[in-house]
Amino acid sequence: MIVAIDGPAGAGKGTITSLVAEELNLVTIDTGATYRCVALQCLNENVTLDEPEKIIEIAKKVKIDMDENKNVFLNGKDVTKEIRSTEVTSIVSPVSSIPEVRDEMVKLQRELAKGKNVIMEGRDITTVVFPEADFKFYLDAEVEERARRRVKQNEEQGIESNYDEILESIKKRDYNDMHKEKGALIRTEDQIYIDSTNMSIEEVKETIIKHIKGE
């Protein structure tokens, strides 16, 4: 079974995915983490955004793994926390806009899901990675609410952040993510649309589970 969840940054996809996975015994795959690994490796190798050829090389050669606890490994090293840094976040959307980078990551994401019952979240899961998924959701929330949630999430993970900066960065990322030539975040007729702005995490989780169980 494949459950696909797309939506903008900070909509709660990560949290919801983990909760639904736990309840329905699904493997979670955070596809944003794969793009974050490529972005981190660019920083590690001092490759900048105006060197797309080098970024493509990196996307082709990196080894990315995830374990069942959502830990992320880049070339064998645990980078779960590092990939959430402000530096990575500020370049990840342009990195993920390079079509060749997307081709590599989509291949890897399909590989990670092979033979498993998965719940996968990202921007183009319902449209490109698994358009034939059993259940497709678009999880949304107003941008200010998403910024508040991201600040809170960062605080919980011990990452320092400022609301205004996060809001600006999310707006920029939204624009970029929605205007990519390949793999753009879009709404389609066959997604189940959920606006979580005024919903609790529990309510969103229950809504998704009800859809999956056909209740």
- Dmax (CA) of the chain: 51
What is each CA distance from 91 to 36, 47, 98, in whole angstroms? 9, 11, 12
Number of chain positions touching ligand DC (CB under 6 A):
15
Write down the least CB distance from residue 214 to ligand DC, Å: 26
Binding status of residue 177 toward ligand DC by CB under 6 A: yes
Residues in CB range of 77: below 8 A, 6 or more apart: none
Closer residue to ligand DC in complex, CB, 82/210: 82
Window 31-60: contact mask with ligand DC (x via CB under 6 A): xx--xx------------------------
Write down the least CB distance from residue 148 to ligand DC, Å: 16
> Segment contacting ligand DC (CB under 6 A): 43-51, 72-80, 121-129, 187-195?
121-129
| Among the listed residues 199, 154, 192, 185, the one whose alpha carbon sits nearest the alpha carbon of residue 3 | 192
Write down the least CB distance from residue 84 to ligand DC, Å: 8
3-state SS, residue 73: strand
- Which residues 124-143 are close enough to bind ligand DC by CB under 6 A? 124-125
- Amino acid residing at 145: E
> Segment contacting ligand DC (CB under 6 A): 54-62, 90-98, 139-147, 160-168?
90-98
Write down the least CB distance from residue 186 to ligand DC, Å: 12
Closer residue to ligand DC in complex, CB, 30/215: 30
Handedness of CA 182, 91, 84, 78 (dihedral sign): positive
Tell me the HSE value of 68 on the side-chain side, using a 13 A CA sphere: 7
Judged on CB neighbours under 10 Å (0-12, 13-18, 19+), 42 is buried
Tell me the HSE value of 176 on the side-chain side, using a 13 A CA sphere: 17
Binding status of residue 196 toward ligand DC by CB under 6 A: no
Residues lying near ligand DC in the complex (CB under 6 A) are found at 9, 31-32, 35-36, 92-93, 96, 122-125, 173, 177, 183
